[in-house]
Amino acid sequence: MSATHERSRSRAVAIVVGITAAVAAIHLATPARPSSWHPVHVFAEKLYALPLLLAAAWLSVAQALLVTLAVAVLWALHVFLHWPAEEMLGLEQSGQIVSLAVIGITASLLFERWRRAHRQVLAAHQETLDGLVGALSLREHDTAEHSRRVAAYSLLIAEELGIEAASERQSLARAAVLHDIGKIGVPDRILLKGGELTEEEWSVIRRHPGLGAALLGDLPSLETARNLVLAHHERWDGHGYPRRLAGAQIPFPARLFAVADAFDALTSPRPYHGALSLADAVDRITRDSGTAFDPAIVDAFLRVPHSRLQRALEEPLVVVADSVGPLPTR
């Protein structure tokens, strides 16, 4: 579990415990018999359902059932303190324990069923995306290795920027792997062309960020990937594409990715240039700081030791796995 997830879960537990304690304090402190404070007592009784529902929504089944048990014990204490001599009223109040238990157990199981179904939908969606990446790799053979190297470089830069949460790093790495997924819609005669592209062919190539973003859809879990895919060819000076965004208008993941992507392009052989040495590529990135790239991202990139960049170049999958676990290998 990531540190961010752990903090979120701890915060949820604290809220549920706090609400339960507050409701119990009001309920036990106000008189059960008719008085000016009795309406507050009745209102507090109804609020016991709130921590049960929040626990079911936010916590695991086991934790939610513990909250249900705690509420049942608190209600039993209420019956013991307020209704010791009135058997029928005490019995009626005791029956409320059953109602609360039914609410807590049913809500916990229903929310867990929803979470399981949601995970299955996300997994199916991700399998589809991985299949598209695999299909693109079959068409353009260097795509998979390029994506893994860029993911590794992106994670090294993210580390220098203080991005430590596993969920954020996983999201960034996944986005890097998916960044060129829109090329699945580019015709082979253009995508696989060995020579220089015409202006008309370039106009087709420049559509791939929008195509990729459309393929990823509107799932919240893929928001980082969608933003990166759509903006990964934007430039800090506003001369990129497809929307000619500039500066902070460019989503942060795309700004980070742009440096990693350029570095891999410079250190890899291409039809129109040979591979630069690691040092020459770093110098080239430095020169483009403030024009093509966000200067703060370049500064973080320059802090990455060359030995770690070299390892990412030679063993990108190892670097990625060390940081976030395995990613698609097609």
Angle at 291 between CA 314 and CA 178, to 5 degrees: 45
Calculate the average pLDDT of the chain: 84
User: Taking the domains of the chain in order of start, what are their residue ranges?
Assistant: 3-118, 140-324
φ, ψ dihedrals at 293, nearest 5°: -125, 155
Say which residue the tokens 């001599």 belong to.
85
Residues paired with 270 in a beta bridge: 273
SS3 293: strand
Of the ranges 6-15, 21-30, 279-288, which is most confident? Answer: 279-288
pLDDT bucket at 235, cuts 50 / 70 / 90 = very high
**Encoded tokens for 45:** 């009784």
Q: Measuring CA to CA, how many Å separate 248 from each of 241, 255, 290?
A: 15, 9, 12
CA-nearest of 319, 315, 282 to 300 is 282
pLDDT at 21 over 80: yes
**Over the stretch 186-212, which tens digit does the pLDDT of each residue have?**
888 888 787 788 899 999 999 999 999
State residue 2's pLDDT score.
46
- For 263, residues 6+ apart whose C-beta sits below 8 A from its C-beta are 153, 281, 282, 285, 301, 309
Sort 232 into a burial class: Cβ within 10 Å, 0-12 / 13-18 / 19+: buried
Q: For residue 139, how many other CB atoms are within 10 A of its CB? A: 13
Q: Which CATH superfamily is domain 140-324 in?
A: Hypothetical protein af1432 (1.10.3210.10)
DSSP secondary-structure letter at 16? H
Q: Per mean pLDDT, which range of 248-252, 269-273, 278-282 is the poorest?
A: 269-273
